[in-house]
């Protein structure tokens, strides 16, 4: 299952996530099981896009985080807790409409955490691709938010096994 791909030819370089694997509008039987496990296993080995060299020798490379500072279980848990918080606060379309800007703001928090190398590029790509599926403040968007929370819950369970403390 090819979940992540890196494109170092863009400026800045990008890590992208295959969003077809995460259908939050209509989850298939594999989403909360096989897919969540595959993502957990992939994110258990953090990779960061880093700038190497200067001047003409400057280039981008995907570097494995040997110290595994990125994607620490406690950091991942903070994001999961916030997704749960918004899902709990958002039980109706009316409330969802008011909360959607703050839910989308979690992308900025993921970017900030990436800037501090607390999460890797793959986590940011996965997280933002899931949040990116929540586009409108209607019942469909609300279902996607709650399915994202359930996917994240399954992911956290598998992640604990893939990357214990």
CA angle 36, 79, 102 (to 5 degrees): 120
Question: pLDDT tens digits for 52-85?
Answer: 888 788 889 999 988 889 999 999 999 999 999 9
Question: pLDDT tens digits for 91-122?
Answer: 999 999 999 999 999 999 999 999 999 999 99
CA distance 28 to 14: 28
Q: Which helix (H) or strand (E) holds 14?
A: strand 14-17
Q: Which of helix, strand or coil describes residue 76? A: helix
**Residue 134 near residue 93 (C-beta atoms within 8 A):** no
pTM of the model: 0.94
Domain boundaries, the chain: 4-162
């Amino acid at each position: 299952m090819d979940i992540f791909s890196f494109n170092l030819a863009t400026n800045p370089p990008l890590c992208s996530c295959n969003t077809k694997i995460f259908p939050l509008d209509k989850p298939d039987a594999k989403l909360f099981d096989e897919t969540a496990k595959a993502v957990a296993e992939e994110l258990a080995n953090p990779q960061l896009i880093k700038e190497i060299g200067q001047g003409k020798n400057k280039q981008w490379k995907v570097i494995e985080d040997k110290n595994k500072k990125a994607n620490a279980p406690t950091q991942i848990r903070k994001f999961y807790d916030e997704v749960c918080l918004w899902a709990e606060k958002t039980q109706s379309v009316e409330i969802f409409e008011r909360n959607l800007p703050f839910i989308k703001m979690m992308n900025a928090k993921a970017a900030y955490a990436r800037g501090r190398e607390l999460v890797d590029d793959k986590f940011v790509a996965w997280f933002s691709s899931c949040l990116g599926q929540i586009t409108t403040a209607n019942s469909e968007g609300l279902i996607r938010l709650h399915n994202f929370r359930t996917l994240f819950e399954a992911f956290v369970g598998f992640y604990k096994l893939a990357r214990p403390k």
